[in-house]
Every structure is written in structure tokens, then in C-alpha cells.
Amino acid sequence: MTLILSNDDVGKLLTMPDCMDCLEDAYRELAHGRGISRTRSDSVAPSGRDDEALYSLKSMDGVIPKLGVGAVRINSDIITWPKIGNSMRRVKSPAAPGGRYTGLVLLFSSETGEPLAIMPDGVMQRIRVGAANGLGVKYMARADAKTVGILGSGWQAGTQLAAACVARGITAIRCHSPTRENREKFCADMTAELGVECIPVDSPEAAIAGADIVMCATNTIDAVFFEQWLEPGAHLTSIKRPEIEEKAVARCDRVVVHTHDDKPMLVATRDLDVPEHGGERGWGLAAGIDFASLPTLPQLIAGEIVGRERPDEITCFLNNLGLGYQFAAAGAVVHRKAREQGLGHDLPTDWFTEDVHP
Amino acid sequence: MTLILSNDDVGKLLTMPDCMDCLEDAYRELAHGRGISRTRSDSVAPSGRDDEALYSLKSMDGVIPKLGVGAVRINSDIITWPKIGNSMRRVKSPAAPGGRYTGLVLLFSSETGEPLAIMPDGVMQRIRVGAANGLGVKYMARADAKTVGILGSGWQAGTQLAAACVARGITAIRCHSPTRENREKFCADMTAELGVECIPVDSPEAAIAGADIVMCATNTIDAVFFEQWLEPGAHLTSIKRPEIEEKAVARCDRVVVHTHDDKPMLVATRDLDVPEHGGERGWGLAAGIDFASLPTLPQLIAGEIVGRERPDEITCFLNNLGLGYQFAAAGAVVHRKAREQGLGHDLPTDWFTEDVHP
């Protein structure tokens, strides 16, 4: 049977420690050449809608023989890039029926080829971004790191904090985001969820001054952390390539990136202007950083490099691009636990396989 | 609702003239820069099985704004490369439960992002290969072409003949394949299906001598058609890059390829030997042909080049690599007709969409 799982199922099954554990193992496999990551591709075209939105069909694949799985993650998005203040954001419109988004993870067996499970990507996507940055904290932050300053209070910010709390004994968190109500609500929620006091503050400087760990977790495609804010001993972490100003990255003592893929493969209709793929924003930002020359998280986890040697070093983890490989790892855990706990809808595997040679 | 369709449904809904029409229109869009084709990627790893089979997770994407669709085609294959005589073949093992293959087409709306349909790829894959080569015949073969010689009697050969019969008034077909029983059964079936006499012959030369149209439709990854067999006025057509010897291709007066993608993007585990991606077979064959310098089928259909000027020219269409784009075009037709005719299983679209931001 092929299992159809919901975001609720994924949320129940995939804890942050689970996800950090499975990714840690999977990254080690990848570093040893025993896993496969196919770089994300973005196929972008006019959407045919009345608004200025574009259509983006995004896909990324991963295979982990050790776990017996392959995965394809697909996003079928209606996207706009509004300017909010001085920043440009990437905003997905919930344009599917019922005001919903379309993102899927298809999990396959690498021993039989069969489809094991199909599930939405949203909850898993958020947990795996947190888990990757949490592993950055585990291997790079000071062992006695206790305080976190975070920029952003949106969808990604919560799992960033959860992961930091798994990796280190965090005792205090300060958060800044531009809209007061958002950061206040976020801090109240996080304090309750994590059992660590999370304080909303009214400037980015107030959030990050003196923090042992500085987390950027925004949806901007412009920089939000700047060189003059660097402090000795800090660990910086970003969920997206443009968030940390290039000059700041250059000043860090050790920088690790998620992957050597420097950006998604863009395939677009002729003469289409895709804002985040333009020269000055998004994937164009931090273009001066030679990502291929920097070590990766898998290399760090496999022990090929050291994350930190001295307490006063400034370390930085740039989660520059997500991988389908992460969905294969997390998907394997979710599928195993769903089977154990009897969650999800079973559909006949025959619906998704065939007796004719493809 | 998201429609789950079977190969039977696709076979009922997608006629060869339908498929040739929709592809013709879609290729014109592509030539004008109004469609998107994301090159196939092959992620290949050890399968973890006891045999020597490898696991291959293959994906390819396409978007056609004019038809309001995007598609991802996925194959999750267990593959071996046995030697049969002097040829090496690529063989997929039906290793999924019930002895089945795993290949899927996911069709999305480019206006809302929603998943419109999920269907197996097998029947559609075969029809679209036939249709592409049929369009090659339509634009390149002599207008009075009446006879076909075909090499191969397997899964792909039938739709090659069906497409040739749509494109030209074919009156006689000769077929050779190495195993007598296979070619005899195939010819009997084709004679009944097409209403054109199809004669099995015991050598490749007997099949192709004097034929107006020579079709290669094998599953070998070595060459099967050679330079000395070229005859003036013939149109040659191949479903796969290696089938026509490089020296034969070089002697043709006009050569059109399916796409400028010269081969799939291979991503493999370290030190893995993937036979068809090696130096001497499969994608390595015909490496001396500069595919990027040859015109494509979309350019031919859009009128950027001429397929044939004189009756004695030798023309050649190389279907060098399949495109996810074809599945978007054919998928749009199948989805529309399935809705009209009430075929397929409806599943709640909510199962494949989400209310959380992915």
C-alpha cells in the first residue's frame, strides 16, 4: 500500500531530535559519496492569471541507499515578490482550491522502486531547515552558548529556535521582526513551547547584541545582518543565502555552507524577469562568495573539517540551498513511524505503479 | 478533486492523432520561448538488492502556459544492463509489489498550482515517443512515402508505426528484430491494428532495403543502423541516441534532433559504474555529433528550418532525449478528456495540497 500522509501526521511523527538525528546520519552518508542529491530546479513561467504572479514548478531529488529510499520534492507555486519597506520578499499565494499551497514529497523504495508514501512538504520543510541549522549550531557554536538572538518571527523562525535548544542549553532568546504584533505573538508562543523565555525587542541590534548564537530566519531576499554587528565568539546562522551581508560573511573565522550547489537551476520562458534570480537580489546577492571553496555541512559532520577551535572565533553556517536529499531522510523516518503507529490513508500501490514497461 | 488515472484510462483517451496535434502545438510554443523544459536528471545508486541491479530515480519537468499546465514525470526504476548477443540492453525490473514498474506523471495547474491529476507514465510515454517521431516523419519524409522498414518489435515499435501511418499514407511495412517469435507476433498484431500489411523479415537489411522510412525502435544502447545501409530519399528515425551509427548520421543531408539537451544530467554515488553513462556505450555513443549545432524538432515545426527540399535527400530525425514537456502536453489532453468522459478516481485535492506555507 502507498501511504498518504498529512501535515498533521508529519507534525506528530517528526520531532526535532528525530530529524536532527536522521539528517546527521544522512549527511555523513552524503559526505562519503554514498548518497545522491540532485540540485533543485526552478521552472518559471507566466501563470496566466490576471495579477503579476508567476508560476514556479520546483523539484529536487535525493537517494539514500542506507535508508533504502529515494524522494522527489515538488512545489507548484504561484509567486509574487512584493516590496515591504526596503526589502523584497518572496511570497507564495495559496491559489489552490480552498486557499491552499501545493507542495509534495514522494517517497520511493530504492530496493523495489515502489512509491512508499506521498505527503505534503510544508511541515517537513520547516523542520528540516531547523534541523540543518541546528546541526550547524551543534558543530560550530561555543559549547557553553546560552543566548540566542533571532531576526524574523515567521514560519521558519520557530523551528530554528527549537533546533538551537536541542543543540545547546539555551536559557534566553531575544527576537526582532519589523511588525510588533508578530514578534510579540511569536515570543509568547515560543516561550510556552520551548520553556525558555523569549523576549520581543524593537530593533535588530537589541536582539543580537551579545547573543552567543545569532539566527536569521526571514523571508526577505535582501541582507538583514550586517558586518558592524559581528561580535567575537558568536555563531551566525542563516536559512537563506542573501540574509547575511557578504562583507560580514567574509569577516567570519569559519564559514560552512549547506551545499556546494550555488543556486537552483533556473529554467524560464524567454525574457521573463524572475526577481530573485536577477542580478542584485536573491541569488544574485552574496555572488562574491565562492560557495564552492567553502566546506559543507556534510563535510563538517563527517569530520573532514573542524567547526570551531577557540571560544572567540566567529563561526557562520549558511543554509544556502535546500536539498531533496533532506526530504528523503526525513521521509524515511516519517514513513517508518507512520507504519508503526498506523497513521495515514492507505491507497493501493497499484494506483501508482504499472504493469506496462515505462 | 485530483484525478487518479490508470494506463487503461490513458490508452482510451490519448489517440495518436490527439497526441501528435497537442505536441505539435506545444513544440511551437517551446520554439517561441513560451514553454519550459527542464532536462531529465538520473539519480543512480546501489539498490541494496542481492542482484547487480542499480536504483535510478529519474525526473523531468515541463510547463506550458498556453495549456495552463506543468508536469513532473518520475521514474523509480530497478535497472540492469544485460548483454544480449553483441548488444547491451537497458532492462527495467518490475520489482514493485505484484511485479510492477514505478513511473508517474503528476500534472499541475499553472494558474492555481493545484495537482490536477496523477497517472502512470507507461502508456503515455510510448504514445508520445511515437508522436514525436511521427512529427519528424510529417515534416521530413517525402510526401509520397509509402513503405516503412522498422528495426525492433518491442514496446516502442508499435506506436512508431502508428505515428508513421498518421503522418503518411503507408501501404507496406517490413520488420526485423532478433527473435523470430517476437517479430512474427508483432507483425500480426500491427497488421490487425493498422490495417497495413506488416511483414516479418529475418535480417535488418531485408527490413530497410528500399524503405521510404526507416525506423529504429529498439532497447539497445549500441548502434543498430549503419552507414552502408543509407539510400537516397529515405527518412531515418530513431527513438534513442545510440541507435543510428555516428557515421550514418554524418552522411545525412538534413538531421534534426529532438532537443539540444545532449544527455540526462547524471548524479550518482561515488565511483558507481553506470553502464549507459560510460564512455563507449549509451550516452557515450554518437559523442562526436555536436547535438547543440543541429536544429530541433520545435524549430522545425515553428518553420525556422526546412525538413526536406528534394526527393533524393536523406533526412534523419534523432529522438535523442525525452522531455517532461511532452508529458505536460499529453497530460493536459488526457486530463481534459477524462473530465469530459468521467474517467478515473477522484481524490480530495486537499490530500495533495496544504494550508501551511511550504
In this model, does residue A178 exceed pLDDT 90?
A: yes
**Chain A residues in contact with B46 (beta carbon < 8 A):** 65
Measured between CB atoms, which of B43, B65, B269 is closest to A61?
Answer: B43
B65: nearest Cα among A125, A53, A280 = A53
**Strand A69-80 versus strand A103-109 pairing type:** antiparallel
Are the C-beta atoms of A154 and A217 separated by less than 8 Å?
Answer: yes
- The answer for residues whose C-beta is within 8 angstroms of residue B96's C-beta and 6 or more apart is A109, A112, A113, A114, A349, A353, B102
At residue B286, the pLDDT reads 65
At residue A180, the pLDDT reads 97
Measured between CB atoms, which of B46, B47, B108 is closest to A76?
Answer: B108
**Strand B91-93 versus strand B83-84 pairing type:** unpaired
At residue A244, the pLDDT reads 93
Q: What is the Cα–Cα distance from A87 to B306, expressed in whole angstroms?
A: 50
Average pLDDT on A36-45 reads 97
**A254-301: pLDDT as tens digits:** 999 999 987 899 999 999 988 877 666 677 666 677 888 999 999 999
User: Comparing A124-128, A182-186, A324-328, B245-249, which segment has the lowest mean pLDDT?
Assistant: B245-249
The question of ipTM being above 0.90 is answered as yes
**A315-338: pLDDT as tens digits:** 999 998 999 999 999 999 999 999
CATH number among 2.40.50.140, 3.40.1000.10, 3.30.470.30, 3.30.1780.10, domain B2-124+324-352: 3.30.1780.10
**Strand A2-4 versus strand A69-80 pairing type:** unpaired
B59:A57 CB<8 A: no
Virtual CA dihedral for A302, A303, A309, A313, nearest 10 degrees?
-30
Q: Report CA A169 to chain centroid distance, whole Å.
A: 22
CATH number of B126-318: 3.40.50.720
Helix (H) or strand (E) holding A173: strand A172-176
- Cell output for B78: 530497478
Virtual CA dihedral for A186, A189, A190, A193, nearest 10 degrees?
-160
pTM of the model: 0.95
pLDDT band at A85 (very low <50, low <70, confident <90, very high): confident
Look over chain A and give the mean of its residue pLDDT values, rounded to a whole number: 94
For residue B128, count other CB atoms closer than 10 A to its CB: 27
Measured between CB atoms, which of B4, B102, B265 is closest to A115?
Answer: B102
Nearest CA in chain B to A127: B358
A48:B110 CB<8 A: yes
pLDDT band at A197 (very low <50, low <70, confident <90, very high): very high
- Cell output for B323: 522531455
- Best probe of the A interface among B7, B14, B57, B267, by most A CBs < 10 A, is B57
Average pLDDT on A202-207 reads 97
At residue A287, the pLDDT reads 65
**B236-250: pLDDT as tens digits:** 999 988 899 999 999
B33:A269 CB<8 A: yes
Q: What is the Cα–Cα distance from B334 to A10, expressed in whole angstroms?
A: 32
In this model, does residue A92 exceed pLDDT 70?
A: yes
B353:A72 CB<8 A: no
B354:A120 CB<8 A: yes
At residue A276, the pLDDT reads 76
pLDDT below 70 — which residues of chain B? 278-281, 284-287
At residue B10, the pLDDT reads 98
Size of interface A-B (CB pairs under 8 A): 288
DSSP A6: -
**B210-231: pLDDT as tens digits:** 999 999 999 777 889 999 999 9
A57:B55 CB<8 A: no
CATH number of A130-318: 3.40.50.720
At residue A87, the pLDDT reads 73
Residue type, A280: E
In our burial notation (b when 16+ CB lie closer than 10 A, e otherwise), range B12-27 reads bbbbbebbbbbbbebb
Give chain B's largest Cα–Cα span.
Answer: 63
A57:B4 CB<8 A: no
pLDDT band at A49 (very low <50, low <70, confident <90, very high): confident
**Chain B residues in contact with A116 (beta carbon < 8 A):** none
B120:A74 CB<8 A: no
**Chain B residues in contact with A299 (beta carbon < 8 A):** none
The residues with which B87 forms a beta bridge, in sequence order, are: B84
For residue A280, count other CB atoms closer than 10 A to its CB: 11
Nearest CA in chain A to B118: A352
Q: Measured at the alpha carbon of residue B20, what is the angle toward residues B17 and B26, in degrees to the nearest 5?
A: 140
What is the residue extent of each domain of chain B? 2-124+324-352, 126-318
Q: What is the Cα–Cα distance from B147 to B213, expressed in whole angstroms?
A: 6
